[in-house]
């Protein structure tokens, strides 16, 4: 189940990267973050790609057309608060007994 959630999250991030690639030039990104590392979700939330995994986004590859998963990227979410950009940590909730939770 955890693998499915991680795969869905990676797919979502890659989809957001493709859809919002024009937002990489947004001037309102955290200081020190290169445009190719920044995926703006909205004016207060974004995703930062870890530099080792940056890939240039382009037209869909043949593998993507065959519905194969593209390689995942590592990174983290940030949110803009009153003091500036803050890194968010996703915490998996405590699982209940059996299949519950």
User: 76-95, pLDDT tens digit by residue?
Assistant: 999 999 999 999 988 877 77
Most confident of 17-26, 47-56, 66-75, 77-86: 77-86
94 part of a folded domain? no
Count each helix (H run) and each strand (E run) in the chain, helices first: 2, 4
Q: Could you give the CA distance from residue 98 to residue 36 in angstroms, rounded to a whole number?
A: 43
Q: What is the pTM of this model?
A: 0.53
59 part of a folded domain? yes
95 part of a folded domain? no
Report which of 58, 51, 49, 52 is spatially closest to residue 18, judged by C-alpha positions: 58
Place of tokens 């240039």: 56
100 part of a folded domain? no
The count of structural domains within the chain is 1
């Amino acid at each position: 189940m955890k693998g499915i959630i991680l795969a869905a999250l990676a797919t979502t991030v890659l989809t957001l990267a493709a859809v919002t690639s024009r937002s990489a030039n947004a001037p309102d990104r955290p200081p020190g973050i290169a445009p190719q590392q920044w995926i703006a979700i909205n004016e207060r939330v974004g995703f930062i790609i870890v530099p080792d995994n940056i890939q240039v986004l382009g037209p869909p590859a043949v593998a993507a057309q065959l519905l194969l998963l593209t390689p995942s990227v590592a990174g983290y979410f940030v949110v803009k608060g009153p003091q500036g950009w803050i890194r968010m940590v996703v915490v998996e909730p405590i699982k209940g007994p059996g299949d519950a939770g």
